[in-house]
A and B are shown apart, each in its own frame.
Chain A
Amino acid sequence: MSSTAAKETVSCTVDGIAFEVPKGTRMIDAAARTGVDIPHYCYHPGLSAPAQCRMCLVEVEGAPKLQPACTAEVQDGNVILTASENALKAREGVLEFLLVNHPLDCPVCDQSGECKLQDYTAAEGRPMGRLAEPKRIIGVDDFGGDVLFHGDRCVMCTRCVRFMREVAQDERLAVVQRGDKAVIDTFFGEGLEGNIWADNVVDICPVGALVSKDFLHKARAWDLDRTPSICPNCTQGCNITLQVRDNQVMRLKPRPNAEVNGHWMCDFGRLNYQWVNRTGRIEAPLVREDGKLVPMSWSDTLLRLANAARGQSTGVRSVVSPYAANEDLGAVRRLADALGGGSGVFRVESGEEVVLPGFPQLALRSDRAANVRGAELLGFSRAGDSTGMGGLEEAESFDGVILVLGDDLEDASADFGQRSKLFIYVGHVLGGAARNADFVLPSTTFAEMEGSFTNVAGRVQRFWPAIQVPGMSRPAWQILGVLLSGIIDIPAPARPGDAFATLGDLSPAFGGMRFEELGAEGQPLEYSRR
């Protein structure tokens, strides 16, 4: 940054810690930099701040009244006290009012455990309520789509109304009535049905007023293990956390990344996770012996496969899944090159692209699989139609080696692979034409392994294992890497970083990138950085 463009800074003190922030920083953000979390409801970093919940009141020395930290900007020399007697008293009063009509149904509320009203009341609220009057009762309203509204739990922060107005730009929610009768409602029963960004209001709701029907009563917040990951359902590559209980993915939640998805994600991606929990997976490597597939140990399987593959030079036709990681696709490419080269295809379902108007770099992309870009960069070409079917003719009639990675082959003809010399199937479930394979190798899904996807904008993003692998399944990069080291004399990759490091040889786009440097928010491809 040159000196002329240097931002002006102002100095301030938050709870006794003096530091400098850029001019125009809001007090709540300044406090967050010192690790002080000022309680707040209506403020959300992705939305405008109306300063209406009055929860973030802090004392500023010299100011006559308490300041709302979500809109007040830090002035030079401000001494901000977030926990002074006056501030605490004001916030305790706000909490008491919020609890006037709150049903206190935490035992049956889905937000329990991640609820800001619970947290702040425990931290700063009164130990006992003083209300003698009966509580106002609104009841439950179905807002359409995946969203259920519990009016009694609402604290009227209007984050949901502002999200629909400012970010989704599809005003479907509004505050109706006034005073203690005020309630969030939809227009004319149309509800949120049909807006694919609607579930974000569930994420941003600080209390249990808006809950997801899909997640209703499914798991408690404190039972969930959270693993950073990447949404696999379109090429956007939204950063998510996989929330898991008892080895089952319970829900997907967006993980903030200003470069990719902001704070948001679409309902298509969010609700399309059941396939990760599918049962009936292949649990052991299978080898064809006397016409039947026989389970075998990994070492026996890979030794036999290496012997069968060594010396094959008729080339390879591969069919890969665009849900596979960069490392997996690179391993397929390298194996194909070692066996005489050959073309590879992937098939991807596609649909309409839906842009989020208030954050236009985020869209539900038309290709509905995470790693289409990675597959294209690593030399695989698109085949089939927009339903993800067809396009297998070349592989079907091929008489060399056929290698399938992750594709279910649902629509392949019954004799797929019968003409080939060697048919290797690396995948998750054994069905249809996969039963014709000479070798069936169980591989992991993105939720069970470490690896990376390349999104539509050329950003390489890592994901981490969230659930246990079924049976003897292994990541495909590991299976194929060990196999390749048995065919040609090269070391097998031990870690996903080793597999990632070889991608630069296959596509210059990956050259110079290091897996360890991708971090939690990913890095753009080498060429797009220049």
Chain B
Amino acid sequence: MARRRKDKEMAANVRLMKRPEREASYLRATLKGVALTFRHMVNPHKVTMQYPEEKWALSPRWRGTHVMEQHEDGRPKCVACGLCPAICPANCIRLVPGEDDQGNRYPVVYEIDEFRCIFCGMCQEVCPVEAIHVGQHYENSEYTRDNFVYDLDRLMSQKQPSTLLWDPSDPASE
């Protein structure tokens, strides 16, 4: 008993396996790995996306930062009905309604705090005039936190396509 312990210097319950030399040798596995490396050198398998030169395609349902639709003359489509601030679970929309020079109801102030936004898309779903949308967009970087409060001008100048919670060929979901 004592002799065996001295020989092996192993923990009590480890069982040593007796294997033939050719199986116990690492040479075979090493050659296999090197062969794979050479195979990939000849026929490369690309995994890395060269961002930002190349970009992944987003799901049509991706919900990113907002877009405000506008009329041809540059007025926002929003009629300041107040449903989006009412439904917003993150309470991130600030709206002050008013009357424009044509006597229409319009948003004097319309601000979305994109930091508070949880991108649920309910503002888009509730909007009766298809004005506010969440966009297919994910690159958000700014130098200040204040810049993440998007005002009306900024929301109207967003270029990204709208999320397809909404089908453009059937705008009123009829």
| Residues of A in contact with B (beta carbons under 8 Å apart) | 106-108, 112, 140, 216-220, 222-223
Contacts and interface: CB of A to CB of B under 8 A. Distances in A.
B81 A106 contact: yes
Contact of A223 (B82, B105, B128, B129): B82
B118 interface: no
A250 to B, nearest CB: 12
A439 to B, nearest CB: 39
Given A107-B81, A108-B79, A217 B105 contact: yes
B97 interface: yes
Interface residues of B, number: 14
Contacts of A220: 81-82, 86, 97
Interface of B: 79-83, 86, 97-99, 103-105, 128-129
Contacts of B86: 220, 222-223
Contacts of A219: 97
A396 B114 CA distance: 59
B158 to A, nearest CB: 22
B104 A108 contact: yes
A219 B128 CA distance: 18
A222 B83 CA distance: 10
A218 B79 contact: no
A112 B80 CA distance: 12
Given A107-B128, A108-B80, 7 more contacts: A106-B128, A107-B81, A108-B79, A108-B81, A217-B80, A217-B97, A220-B97
A112 to B, nearest CB: 7
Contacts of B83: 107
A218 B83 CA distance: 14
A220 B107 CA distance: 13
A107 B79 contact: yes
Nearest to B83: A107
A107 B129 contact: yes
A107 B105 CA distance: 9
Nearest to B94: A246
Q: Which of B79, B82, B104 has the most CB of A within 10 A?
A: B82
18 contacts: A106-B81, A106-B128, A107-B79, A107-B128, A108-B80, A108-B105, A216-B99, A217-B80, A217-B97, A217-B98, A217-B105, A218-B97, A219-B97, A220-B86, A222-B82, A222-B86, A223-B82, A223-B86
A228 to B, nearest CB: 24
A223 B81 CA distance: 11
B81 A217 contact: no
B126 to A, nearest CB: 10
B129 to A, nearest CB: 6
Contacts of A106: 81, 128
B100 to A, nearest CB: 10
Contacts of A217: 80, 97-99, 105
Nearest to B106: A217
Contact of A112 (B81, B99, B103, B104): B81
Q: Which of B79, B97, B98 has the most CB of A within 10 A?
A: B97
A140 B103 CA distance: 11
A220 B97 CA distance: 9
A208 to B, nearest CB: 12
A140 B99 CA distance: 15
Nearest to B98: A217
Across the A-B interface, give the 7 residue pairs with the lowest CB-CB distance, nearest first. A107-B81, A220-B82, A108-B105, A107-B128, A217-B97, A108-B79, A217-B105
Nearest to A107: B81
B23 to A, nearest CB: 75
Nearest to B128: A107
Nearest to A112: B81
A160 B137 CA distance: 52
Nearest to B100: A217
B45 to A, nearest CB: 54
Nearest to B85: A223
Contacts of B129: 107
A108 B80 CA distance: 7
Contacts of A107: 79, 81, 83, 128-129
Contacts of B80: 108, 217
A218 B98 CA distance: 7
B130 to A, nearest CB: 11
Contacts of B81: 106-108, 112, 220
A223 B83 CA distance: 10
B174 to A, nearest CB: 10
Nearest to A221: B82
A440 to B, nearest CB: 34
A216 to B, nearest CB: 7
Q: Which of A107, A218, A223 has the most CB of B within 10 A?
A: A107
